[in-house]
Amino acid sequence: MGIPVLFVYPDFVAQERTGRPGTYDVETGGWYAEGLAAMSASLRAAGHHPSLMHLTAPPDRDEFTAILRRHNPAVVAFTVRSSAFPYCQEYTRWVKEASGAYVIWGGYHPTLAPEECIEVPGVDSICLGEGDWAIVDLAGALSGGKDPVHVESLWFNTASGPVRNPVRPLVENPDELPIPDFDLFDPTSLIPTRTGVATAMLSRGCPFRCGYCSNHRQRAVYPNSSRYARCRSPQNSIEYLRRLREWFPGVREIRFLDNVFGLGRIWLEEFCELYGREIALPFSCNQRPDLVTRQSLAILARAGCRVIYMGIESGDEEVRRVILGRRISDERLTEIFRACREMGIATVAYNMVGLPGEDRKKVLATIKMNAVCRPTSVVVSVFSPYPGTDLYDLSVKKGYAPPHMDYRARTFLDQPDFPKREVALVHTYFSLLVALYRLAGAIPWLGRMLVALLDKLTLSAFFRWSWLVTFGERRALAVRRFREGIRRYIPWLYRFLRGIKMAVARRGVRRTIAE
Ligand code: B12
C-alpha cells in the first residue's frame, strides 16, 4: 500500500540588504525542479502518493501548517539548497511540532555538507546524491512497517548516533528513469510558463570542473562517478518533450536548463533532426564557449535555437584559467559571440564578481570583455563559495571567508584588495558600465577618450561612496520588481518587449553580416 509523500520546495532567494544586517529582500520563485518531478514519477510508479508544497515566498507558520495538515503526509521530503538551509531548519521544526511525519532532506546541501545536515534537530534521514530510487526504497520500507535504516544513499539519525550508508551507483542510462511527473507542478504557478516558456532537462551532470561549481563534488559521491554526465537518447528526449507539451499545451518556446546542452556531436545532430520534425518550437539552451563550434551553432540554429546562454564569468584570462579552471582564451570568447550574432542567435552572458584573487582592475576587464563580446543581455552575480567547490576551499584557506556561511549574504569574500562594499558596488553598476563602455566603443574618435575617462572613473576613489551602493541597490530592486510584475500580470507585454529586444539583436546581426 502506498503512502503520501509531501515534497517541500523553498523556491525563493533571500538576500541581505547592504548595511541592514538581518533584513532580507526576497526574490519570489516559480521554477520547475526536474529532481522533484523525477522522484515524484518514480514514487508514483511504485504506488505512492507524492504531492508538492511549492513555497514561492517564505510562508508564515500558520500558512505552512495549514498546507501540511491538508496533505497529511507520512513523509515530508525537503529539497535543500545551501541558501535555503536556515529556512529548512525552521520548517522542519514546524513539521515536527505539528505532526508525527517522517522528515527526510535531500538535494545539494545534504550532498555537499552531510555532517551539518544530519545534525539538524527533527531530520530523520538525509539523502546523498540522486534520490530517484532511494526515496522509493524509503517509502516502501515505511509503508511496509519496516525499519529503513539499511537503505543505500541515506544517512539516518538514530538513538545510537548517525548511520551513514554508502551512496548507490548513479543511474547510468537516463532512459531507464520514468519521464518526470510534470503534473507535480501547477503550470500556472511557474514564472516561465506565464510567457509561454516551458523548461526542460534532458541530461544529468556535467563533465567539466569549474572552480565555482559543485558538480565535481556532487559527482565524487558515486562509486561509478565516471558516468556522471549522461543524456537521454534523442528518441527518449522527444518522448519527454511530447509529454511536456501535453502537460502545458500553451507552450511556445522551450528553455533547456541542462548544464551544457547537447554534449556530443552525434547526439546533437540526431536530436536536432528529430526535434525539427516532431517538436519544432523555438528554444534556448546553455553552451560553453570552448565547446560550441560554428558547425554546432549552425545545427542548433537550424533546429530553432534562438538564444544561447554562455559564461564569460571573468574577463581576465588568468583568473579564468587559474582560479575558475576555464581554459578559454579572450579570442575564443569574442569569436564565439560574434559567430552567434552572425547566425541570428541572441546571447546571454553570465558573469561573476567578487572572486578570490580579484580586484577592481580585474572586474574592469570583465566589464570590457562584455562590451567587446556584445551579448544581447548581461547577467552578473556575486560569487558565492558553495560547499564542496574548489573556490570554497581556497576562500576559507586564504581567510577570505569563514567555514560556515549564511548564503543569504549580499557578498561573501572580504579581501584586502577587494572589500565587501566594493564588491557590492561593482555588482550594482556592472550592467550600466558595460552599456557605457559599449557606447563609448561605438563612437569612432571620441570613443577612446571616453573609454579612458570611464577607466579613471571606475577605478577612482569617488566610485567608493557607500550611498552609491544603497541608491543603486534600491533602483535595481525596483526595476526587477517592475519587470517581474509585468511578466506576472501583463505577460503579453513582457513577450512583446522581449520580442523587440531579440528583433533588434537580429537586426544587428544583419548589419554585421552586411559590413
Ligand atoms: C537547472 C538549475 C537551476 C534552475 C532550476 C532550479 C531548480 N530548483 O531545480 C534555475 C535556473 C531556476 C536555477 C536557479 C538557481 N540556482 Co541552480 N542549478 C541548476 C543546475 C544547472 C541543474 C539542477 C538540476 O535540475 N539537476 C538535475 C536534477 C535531476 O537533479 P537534482 O536537482 O540534483 O535532484 C536530484 C538530487 O539532488 C536529489 N534530490 C534533490 N532534492 C531532494 C529531496 C529529497 C527528499 C531527496 C531524497 C533527494 C533529493 O534527487 C534528485 C533526483 O535524482 C545546477 C547545477 C548542478 N550542478 O546540478 C544548479 C545549482 C543547483 N544551482 C545553484 C544555485 C545557487 C541556484 C540559485 C540560488 C542561483 C541564484 N542566486 O539565483 C537559484 C535558486 C533558485 C531556486 N528556486 O532553486 C547551485 C546550488 C548550490 C548549492 N550548494 O545549493 C547549483 C548546484 C550550481 C552551483 N553553483 O554549483 N538553477
**Which pLDDT tens digit goes with each residue over 452-483?**
999 988 888 766 667 777 777 888 888 888 88
Residues of the chain above pLDDT 90, percent: 77
Answer yes or no: do 22 and 87 share one domain: yes
Answer yes or no: do 217 and 79 share one domain: no
- CA distance to 9, 68, 104, per residue, from 49 (Å): 17, 14, 16
Answer yes or no: do 413 and 345 share one domain: yes
Amino acid in position 399: G
Query: What one-character-per-residue DSSP string does 128-185 give?
Result: -S--HHHHHHHHHHHHTT---TT-TTEEEEETTEEEEPPPPPP-S-GGGSPPP-GGGS
Distance CA 357, CA 253 (A): 40
For ligand 1, atom 31, the nearest C-alpha belongs to: 35
User: In the chain, how long is the greatest CA-to-CA distance?
Assistant: 79
Task: Please report whether residue 14 resides in a domain.
Answer: yes
pLDDT at 506 over 80: no
Our count of domains for the chain comes to: 2
Task: Please report whether residue 178 resides in a domain.
Answer: no
Average pLDDT of the residues in 86-114 = 97
Position 458 scores a pLDDT of 83
| Closest ligand 1 atom number to CA of residue 134 | 47
Task: Please report whether residue 180 resides in a domain.
Answer: no
Structural domain range at position 377:
191-510
Position 83 scores a pLDDT of 93
Residue at a domain's end among 147, 164, 181? 164
> pLDDT tens digit string along 141-191?
999 999 999 999 999 999 999 999 999 999 999 999 999 999 999 988 899
Answer yes or no: do 226 and 149 share one domain: no
Position 512 scores a pLDDT of 40
For ligand 1, atom 15, the nearest C-alpha belongs to: 13
- Angle formed by the axes of helices 466-489 and 491-514, nearest 10°: 110
For ligand 1, atom 67, the nearest C-alpha belongs to: 13
Answer yes or no: do 132 and 229 share one domain: no
Local confidence band at 369 (pLDDT 50, 70, 90 cut-offs)? very high
* Distance (Å) from CA 384 to ligand 1 centroid: 14
For ligand 1, atom 61, the nearest C-alpha belongs to: 108
Task: Please report whether residue 169 resides in a domain.
Answer: no
Average pLDDT of the residues in 431-443 = 93
Mean pLDDT in the chain?
92
| Closest ligand 1 atom number to CA of residue 38 | 52
Answer yes or no: do 227 and 101 share one domain: no
Non-local (6+) Cβ contacts of 186 within 8 A are 54
Local confidence band at 514 (pLDDT 50, 70, 90 cut-offs)? very low
pLDDT at 513 over 60: no
For ligand 1, atom 44, the nearest C-alpha belongs to: 106
Task: Please report whether residue 247 resides in a domain.
Answer: yes
Answer yes or no: do 371 and 470 share one domain: yes
Answer yes or no: do 506 and 432 share one domain: yes
Q: Ligand 1 pocket test: which of 5, 11, 39 has the largest number of ligand atoms within 8 Å of its C-beta? A: 39
Average pLDDT of the residues in 215-225 = 93
* Distance (Å) from CA 438 to ligand 1 centroid: 33
> pLDDT tens digit string along 315-355?
999 999 999 999 999 999 999 999 999 999 999 999 999 99
Answer yes or no: do 9 and 84 share one domain: yes
Local confidence band at 198 (pLDDT 50, 70, 90 cut-offs)? very high
Average pLDDT of the residues in 85-97 = 97
Task: Please report whether residue 491 resides in a domain.
Answer: yes
Distance CA 322, CA 45 (A): 46
* Distance (Å) from CA 33 to ligand 1 centroid: 8
Position 511 scores a pLDDT of 45
Task: Please report whether residue 186 resides in a domain.
Answer: no
pLDDT at 228 over 50: yes
Q: What is the CATH number of the domain that holds 472?
A: 3.80.30.20
User: Which of these, 319, 317, 307, 339, lies nearest to 383 by C-alpha position?
Assistant: 319
pLDDT at 510 over 50: no
Give the strand order in the sheet containing 125-127: 49-55, 4-10, 75-79, 102-106, 125-127, 154-158, 161-164
For ligand 1, atom 12, the nearest C-alpha belongs to: 31
User: Which of these, 216, 48, 189, lies nearest to 132 by C-alpha position?
Assistant: 48
| Closest ligand 1 atom number to CA of residue 381 | 71
Residue at a domain's end among 164, 181, 215? 164
Q: Ligand 1 pocket test: which of 42, 156, 218, 257 has the largest number of ligand atoms within 8 Å of its C-beta? A: 257
| Closest ligand 1 atom number to CA of residue 130 | 53
Q: Ligand 1 pocket test: which of 16, 25, 34 has the largest number of ligand atoms within 8 Å of its C-beta? A: 34
Top-confidence residue, 485 or 346: 346
Non-local (6+) Cβ contacts of 507 within 8 A are none
- Angle formed by the axes of helices 466-489 and 420-442, nearest 10°: 70
| Closest ligand 1 atom number to CA of residue 39 | 52
* Distance (Å) from CA 107 to ligand 1 centroid: 7
Task: Please report whether residue 184 resides in a domain.
Answer: no
For ligand 1, atom 64, the nearest C-alpha belongs to: 81
Distance CA 209, CA 216 (A): 6
Top-confidence residue, 512 or 61: 61
Position 21 scores a pLDDT of 85
Q: Ligand 1 pocket test: which of 36, 79, 167, 393 has the largest number of ligand atoms within 8 Å of its C-beta? A: 79
Position 462 scores a pLDDT of 66
Position 508 scores a pLDDT of 52
Answer yes or no: do 395 and 492 share one domain: yes
| Closest ligand 1 atom number to CA of residue 33 | 9
Least confident of 108-117, 193-202, 207-216: 207-216
pLDDT at 42 over 50: yes
| Cβ < 6 A, ligand 1 pocket | 11, 13, 29, 31, 33-35, 38-39, 77-79, 81-83, 104, 106-109, 112, 127, 130-132, 134-135, 201, 204, 213-215, 218, 257, 259, 381, 386
| Closest ligand 1 atom number to CA of residue 257 | 1
Answer yes or no: do 197 and 146 share one domain: no
Answer yes or no: do 394 and 252 share one domain: yes
> pLDDT tens digit string along 49-84?
999 999 999 999 999 999 999 999 999 999 999 999
